[in-house]
Amino acid sequence: IEELIAYRPEVMVVVAFGQILTKEVLAVPEKGCINVHASLLTQCTGAPPRFSRWILDGQKETGVTTMFMDEGLDTGDML
């Protein structure tokens, strides 16, 4: 955390990390943390979401969701 603070980031972006960041880490960037989630939320949640699961379930569309991160899993405000 000290190393992250030393960078003084305005924002941090997480892609395919697979872990929930602690409250302390989420508080480091001035403008928040953004997650790039490899599926459409709220239909396909969790880590790791899989496009193949989505297709095997018979869905015709898939996509990517960007969202602000909070302390939960896939619970932040979508952008």
Task: Give the pLDDT of residue 27.
Answer: 97
> What confidence tens digit (pLDDT) does each residue in 24-47 have?
999 999 999 999 987 776 666 665
- Token pair, residue 7, equals 């960078």
Lowest mean per-residue pLDDT among 2-11, 29-38, 53-62: 53-62
Cβ proximity of 69 and 35 under 8 Å: yes
Looking at residues 4-23, what average pLDDT do you find?
92
Q: Does the structure show a pLDDT above 80 at 14? A: yes
Q: Taking the model in full, what pTM does it have?
A: 0.76
- Determine whether 14 is exposed, middle or buried from the number of CB atoms within 10 Å of its CB (0-12, 13-18, 19+): middle
Nearest to 72 by CA among 37, 30, 40, 29: 37
Mean pLDDT score of the chain: 84
Please tell me the distance from the alpha carbon of residue 42 to that of residue 11, in angstroms, as a whole number. Answer: 24
